[in-house]
Structure 1
Amino acid sequence: MSRDFWISFLEFSNNALIVTIVMGAGSILIYNLSRNLWDRVTRANSILLTCITIVSIMDGLIALDPKSDTVEIWLRLQWVGIAFVPAAIFHLADALLTTTGLVSRGRRRNVRRALYVLSAVIMLLATLSDLFIHDFTARPIPYMRVGPLFPVYAAYFITSAVVAYWLVWRARARCRTAKTYQRMDIILKVFLTPGIGLFPYSLLFDMVNRGHNFDVLIFRSASNLANTIVIVMLFSLAYPLAFFGTSKPDRVVKAEILQFSLRGTFTALVLLGVMLSTLRVSEILGLKSEDFVIVAVMGTVVLLQWLITVSLPLLEKWFVFTRNNIEGHKLRQISQRLLTRADIKQLEEAILAAACDLLRVDTAFLLTNTPDGLTIEHSVGSISAERAVESIQKSSSQNGRNSEHFYAYDDVIIGDDFWVFPLYANGDDSPLLGYMGIQARKMPPELSDGEKELEMELFHMLMDRAARLLADAQLQSQVFDVLDALMMQMDSLRLEGRVDKFGQIYQQPPTQQPQNLTEWAEWVHGALKDLWGGPKLADSELLQLNIVQQELEKNGSSPTRALQTILTRVIESLKPEGERSLLNNDWVLYNILEMRFVQGKKVGDVAPQLAMSEPNFYRKQKSAIEEVARQLWEMEKSYLETHQKNGNS
């Protein structure tokens, strides 16, 4: 093969590598920006990635049209990234050392600031003058000649790189666990590679080849080798750095990186390969390249998303949920299999709609039997919750027998407007789960014996599904209660103090916190009792919360008014959408809080309006107060986390 072929091939491969660097560095940068940007390691790494992205984008623009008049502009704009590389490398090394507990007493911080100022000066001089680069040369490759101050930058780069490497070496030496030492060791081995890959080697080639023939083949080969090393080391550096600045478990971080890499970087690289290859193929086949590329890219996107969706569980099993992470795999399965309240509502509506279609009626409903009494679960048609409850009571009294004893189709409880069927988990001997009501048919359709038997069989099937759904809903409600308590306990630990992966303890700002949700709910209950004024509100522990102090300016510097504003805002956030109902289960918490505390009504007046006995009302009121307490807990936690981020910055 001729020399020209190899030069052309190396140019093509070098352009592909440049685009890969842009996509890789850009995607990692976006991933960092979507995470905890307040963390010093993440922030410093993002600055270095920005430098890499800028330089690589300029390389790509030059490769698109190396003979353009704008090439000199792109070569100068590269120094926006090149100039800041030494400062970014030192910044990242300083941040890594700080995470191990060796916080700067001012010297490293001042050096870092001075380096950024020096980098800014170099950037301005390189882009606006000829002190660092000058005399653009287009052949045999586009490059700039060295200026009189370029050795200053070279010395600056080498000095910063050596000092930064020494700081990372100190950070590795301070690691005391095998896992953290292993990650820091990987960082140490590849730490300088991305920065070294950005060094303007074309200027050195100009110095070496001055007065000699410029060997393009050697330069292209060196560029390909350097870009390949940069790509490998870029991702090798990004992986261990992803674990900094997050309190998430390793398995969660690994899963995020895997999904982000597949749907971001991997997809972009495949599309790039498809576009380049289809351009060549279209030329061979004599097709319009634009049409061919569009079809190929659209098909590739759809195919890739399907392949990623299918293969992701297997890849997670190999790289994330390994043998030592069985519990994490179970948690993933639980999140995929549990039904949310919206899911249950959809299934209930589907069952009721199928029952209406089967019996050719317009209305059906489901009632749940709870320790607090019957509550409307779901309904289709024009039925109201009040008529549903009345139908149960009226139908039972008219038939003169206990409805809990009937389950068969022939023993339906006959009402004036409805047929009501008891639902059991496992037959008549098991506890009653609730009722399924169907609008009574005034004029039954004429059906053959076979059609009647099929209709009865299908309706029994729908009743069984409704019973299983109610049983599953009750079980999953218990699961969610346990998860809520567990999450509250975990949040409490995070509020008290966090230990990062290198053993450093980050203390939260001091504030009075309850020991558990019950104590917090007691504070809320006391404040709600005197919501519009009284000693329990004026002396409430909730007045010391940060979120209350934050509202003082908007409430005339009055702590009690600020607390009133927050409590009423939380109550309004619990208001469901749609028309208000006094008997719908979705409105229970809001109705209790709004009528009992905002309107100030007595229990004896509110309970009858909500069709509850007083013991039942107090149980529901406790749940409503705990929900308000939970909302306040989340608001305070969010404030403290933001306060911590600002402190670390």
Structure 2
Amino acid sequence: MENTIKWIITFLQTLNEILTATVAITTFSLFLFILFFIRKEKLARIFAPLLFFLTVIYSADALENTTILLSYQLYWQKIHWTGFVFLPAIFFHFSEVLLTMTGFSQQKLRKILIVFIYCCSLFFLIELWTDRLFSGMREIETIGSTMIPAETAGWFWIFFGILLVSSFLNYLNTYSRTRTRTSRRRMTYLIFSSIGVLLGTFPLLIFGSGFVSQHPLFFWIISNLANFVILIMVLLLGYSVTTFCVSWSYRVVRLRLFEWMLRGPATASATLGILTLIKRSSGVLGINIDGLISLLTVVSIVMLEFLITLILPLMERNSISGYGNEDYSLVSGLENMVVFKPELNTYLESLISAVTDKFQAKGAFIAVIDPMGKIDDYIQVGEADWENIAEIPARIFEEKQTGEELILDDSGVICPIISKENSNDASVLLAILGISGTAAEELDDDNRNALQLAIEKARVILWQRWYLISALSVLRSVNESDQIGLFRDVSPLNQTEMLKSRSKLDLTYVSGWVRDALTHYWGGPRLSENPLMDLEIVRNELNHEADSPTNALRSVLKAAIERIRPAGERNISGEWILYNILELKFIEGKKVKEVAQKLAISEADLYRKQKVAIEEIAKTLIRMEDESSHGTIEKSPDNSKE
């Protein structure tokens, strides 16, 4: 019986090491996910350090399990407590941010309180590394090691308890401020998982070392259960925070997070668990597998990734993904349906190369026609230079040719590639295929059949490309529109925020438009076709002052530049740098090198400051548009002294 208990304890110890490493890998993976995908959100910026310190705690525990020397165990214990010292402060800050997401106005005193709490955590960290928070470390047989609290540790537990209660009160306040069933369900997930994570990391071994030393089996069972619960709580908390922070649909959140966790922590943890169990088992059985460890690692990772690749499509088809079977089949096949221009050119080049070889011609070409009837792309092999190629589309339209009859030309044979619209039976000229040095009367039946086959293949791919261009244009318009994600731009917890009007002007887009408009300030398509033409301030300028939309936009840009002009006489000081760059580079049209020399800065520095100047103009235009919509727009002051 005693040997059986020892074997069970050994197994539970191994399982605990695997679970500890799994929690560390999971928290680190979630940390990377938050850091690289949703770091701009306020709640995510608080959640990221929380995950970081959880990673520190469990990584230290996992590494301590592999350490034999007590001095190194003490070192890892201190690193563990470094993470734990900051957890109460971060959880309280997390609860404060969550409360503000419900529309609660955070007063300045509460912000000062948060700073004070972080300072207290920093104080306890200093106490930890100067051996005044703990007086040392003791080892418990079959359990491990634990720290011995010093007198200062009592103050830390008071600090911990106050913040735990305060965080819980904030959660209750947040829950009471939510009104809908959906919001309360999400809030319950957050409260349950965050409190669970905080309590799950609590070091019970410090206070119950005497009891657990007498009941090691009970300790290892509780320890494994605690680690498993923490793993679930971390995943639940990560999912809850992600749904509140991103503008994706919940279907996309689930799929992205699920795939991220499968390919990252699930694969790593499973590989680690398999190798650990095999190594421990080989030691008991007396088998040496050191030479197979590398091979087993590679095989485990490859097989797990292969299984994930098989499982993911099934999960996407599942109801959890939000896809219906028909919709999923269409969406998942969209990537294979799209033909991009480089792929199209490669395919057409191969096609006319085969035609050239078949006819033993000097060369061949294919001219792709755009919806306006002009040549959009021209691909040729060999000698296929038609002097009058630009006139052929007009000639086909004039003759109202709807079939694919061969056209005789001095340079060879030309065949139009035509497709008919099913809706109104209208003919669409997709492309023109030409073969140089070949007469139509010289084509025998075999060559004509080969030519017709080439035309048919070209028609299929060009027809697909023709319609996909329209589809891509629609998708591009949807992607650039902020209306689709507008309902997710605010917190789902803050019901009143959803009723506030929001500006349609996004700084990122406006900055790009301003850059384009200034590049063609004195004329060009980037100015005349600029989206800034739709601004109310431009329309007002057109109605009152300007004689054309282009002049109206140019006048508005000039007014925005004048708004950022400093007061006083113009010079080359730092205060004037943004205005000078805009004036010299865009208004006066000077070259980059000349502007850099005149302002006594490097070209690299000029480009950096130019970006800042363009963003300032974009912000100014957004303010001017808001003022115009409220009827409060003002003329820029006259600071034109030179």
The residue type paired with residue 222 of structure 1 is I
For the residues of structure 1 that align with 2:154 and 2:191, how far apart are their CA atoms?
Answer: 27
Question: For residues 345 and 287 of structure 1, do their structure 2 counterparts lie closer, same or farther at Cα, with a shift above 3 Å needed?
Answer: farther
Post-superposition shift, 1:83? 0.3
Q: Which residue of 2 aligns with 1:484?
A: 476
Match of 1:557 in 2: 580
In the alignment, is residue 422 of structure 1 matched against residue 416 of structure 2? yes
**Secondary structure of the corresponding residue to residue 423 of structure 1:** strand
Is the contact between residue 96 and residue 171 of structure 1 (CA under 8 Å) also seen in structure 2? yes
Selected match of 2:187 from 184, 187, 212: 184
Question: Which of 437, 440, 443 matches 1:440?
Answer: 437
Deviation, 1:393, is 5.2
1:583 — aligned with what? none
Write the deviation string for residues 241-287 of structure 1: whole angstroms up to 9, x where unpaired.
11122222222222221221222122212222332244357668987
Partner of 2:627: none
1:584 aligns with: none
Residue 428 (structure 2) aligned to one of 427, 431, 444: 431
Any idea what the Cα deviations from partners look like across 1:23-61, whole Å, max 9, x if unmatched? 111111111101232322111111211111101011011
CA gap 1:23/1:104 in 2 versus in 1, 3 angstroms: same
Match runs of 1:380-529 below 5 Å: 380-382=380-382, 387-388=385-386, 390-391=388-389, 404=401, 407=404, 411=406, 413-416=408-411, 418-426=412-420, 430-440=427-437, 456-490=448-482, 498-502=489-493, 503=495, 504=497, 527-529=521-523
Match of 2:551 in 1: 536
CA shift, 1:342, in A, is: 3.3
Which residue number in structure 1 is paired with residue 133 of structure 2? 131
SS at match of 1:368: strand
- Go from structure 1 to structure 2 and tell me whether the alpha carbon gap of 1:71 and 1:269 turns closer, same or farther (over 3 Å shift): same
Q: Note if contact 1:512-1:545 (Cα within 8 Å) is conserved in structure 2.
A: no
Q: How does 1:230-309 map to 2 (within 5 A)?
A: 230-279=230-279, 289-309=289-309
Tell me which of 31, 35, 52 is aligned to 1:33. 35
| 8 Å CA contact 1:263, 1:305 repeated in 2 | yes
- Alignment CA distance shift 1:540-1:454 (3 Å): same
State the SS of the aligned residue for 1:69.
helix
Kept after mapping to 2: 8 A contact 1:67/1:138: no
| Distance in 1 between residues matched to 2:393 and 2:97, nearest whole Å | 74
Seq. identity, %: 18
Amino acid paired to 1:131: L
Within a 5 Å distance, the mapping from 1:12-91 to structure 2 comes to: 12-91=14-93
Aligned: 1:157 with 2:160: yes
Moved more, 284-293 or 148-157: 284-293
Task: Judge which range, 244-253 or 44-53, deviates more.
Answer: 244-253
**Structure-2 separation of matches of 1:102 and 1:130:** 39
TM-superposed deviation, 1:471: 2.1
Q: Deviations over 1:220-259 (max 9, x none)?
A: 2222121111111111211111112222222222222122
Alpha-carbon distance change, 189 to 497 in structure 1, aligned in 2, over 3 angstroms = closer
Q: Is the 8 A contact 2:351 2:454 kept in 1?
A: yes
Asked whether the equivalents of residues 247 and 485 of structure 2 are also in contact (C-alpha less than 8 Å), the reply is no
> What TM-score, normalized by structure 1, do the two folds share?
0.73
Q: CA deviation at 1:523?
A: 7.3
| SS of residue matched to 1:104 | coil
Cα distance between partner residues in 2 of 1:273 and 1:262: 15
SS in structure 2 opposite 1:242? helix
Query: How many aligned residue pairs are there?
Result: 556
Give per-residue Cα distances to partners, 1:160-215, cap 9 Å, x unaligned.
11111111121122122332221111112222111112222221123x55xx9544
Structure 1 residue aligned with 2:174, among 165, 171, 176?
Answer: 171
Offset of residue 468 of structure 1: 2.1
Structure 2 distance, partners of 1:269, 1:361, is: 63
For 2:90 and 2:254, locate their aligned partners in 1 and report how far apart those are by CA, in whole Å.
26
Alpha-carbon deviations, 1:379-431, whole Å to 9, x = none? 143568xx34625759999x9x96947635xx463543x43211111599833
| 1:54/1:464 CA distance change after superposition, 3 Å | same
Deviation at 1:73, TM superposition (A): 0.8
Structure 2 unmatched runs, 5+: 528-545, 566-573, 593-613, 623-642
Where in structure 2 are the equivalents of 1:199-218 lying within 5 Å?
199-206=202-209, 208-209=210-211, 214-218=214-218
CA distance in 2, matches of 1:432, 1:86: 70
Once the 2 structures are TM-superposed, how far is the Cα of residue 99 of structure 1 from its aligned partner? 0.8
Residue number among 90, 94, 97 corresponding to 2:96 in the alignment: 94
Q: Tell me: CA distance 1:42–1:95, structure 2 relative to 1, closer, same or farther (3 Å).
A: same
Instruction: Return the offset for 1:553.
Output: 5.8
Give the counterpart letter for 1:11 in structure 2. Answer: Q
Distance 1:161 1:368, change over 3 A: same
1:4 aligns with 2:6: yes
- The Cα offsets for residues 428-465 of structure 1, whole Å up to 9 and x where unpaired, read as 983332211234369x99xxx9xx75554343222112
CA distance in 2, matches of 1:486, 1:297: 45
Measured in 1, the distance between the counterparts of 2:326 and 2:186 equals: 23
Q: Which amino acid aligns with 1:261?
A: M
**Matched ranges for 1:497-646 at <5 A:** 498-502=489-493, 503=495, 504=497, 527-529=521-523, 536=551, 539-543=554-558, 557=580, 559-561=582-584, 563=586
3-state SS of 1:74 partner: helix
> How many Å separate the matches in 1 of 2:17 and 2:294?
21
Indicate if the aligned counterparts of 2:584 and 2:590 stay in contact, CA closer than 8 A: no
Decide whether the 8 Å contact of 1:15 with 1:60 is kept in 2.
yes
- Partner of 1:34, secondary structure, is helix
Residue-by-residue CA offset, 1:317-361 (whole Å, 9 max, x unaligned): 225542689878865554553333334334333433443454455
Please state how far the C-alpha of 1:543 moved relative to its aligned partner. 4.5
Separation in 1 of the partners of 2:485 and 2:218?
59
Contact 1:283–1:289 (Cα < 8 Å) also in 2: no
Q: Is the 8 A contact 1:275 1:293 kept in 2?
A: yes
Distance (whole Å) between structure 1 residues aligned to residue 254 and residue 506 of structure 2: 36
TM-score (norm 2): 0.74
192 and 538 in structure 1: CA distance in 2 versus 1, 3 angstrom threshold: closer
Which shows bigger deviation, 153-162 or 520-529?
A: 520-529
Question: What amino acid sits opposite 1:500 in the alignment?
Answer: S
Separation in 2 of the partners of 1:356 and 1:279?
65
Counterpart secondary structure, 1:176: coil
Distance 2:26 2:581 in 1: 52
Which digits, 9 at most, give the CA deviation of each residue in 1:463-488, with x for residues without a partner? 11211222222222222232333334
SS of match in other structure, 1:473: helix
**Cα 1:369–1:268, aligned 2, differ >3 Å: closer, same or farther?**
same
Seen in structure 2, the aligned counterparts of structure 1 residues 549 and 556 have a Cα distance that, compared at 3 Å, is closer
Whole-Å separation in 2 of the counterparts to 1:568 and 1:247: 41
Quote the Cα distance in structure 2 between the aligned partners of 1:507 and 1:568: 43
Contact 1:424 1:467 in 2 (8 A): yes
Question: Which SS does the other structure have where 2:263 is aligned?
Answer: helix
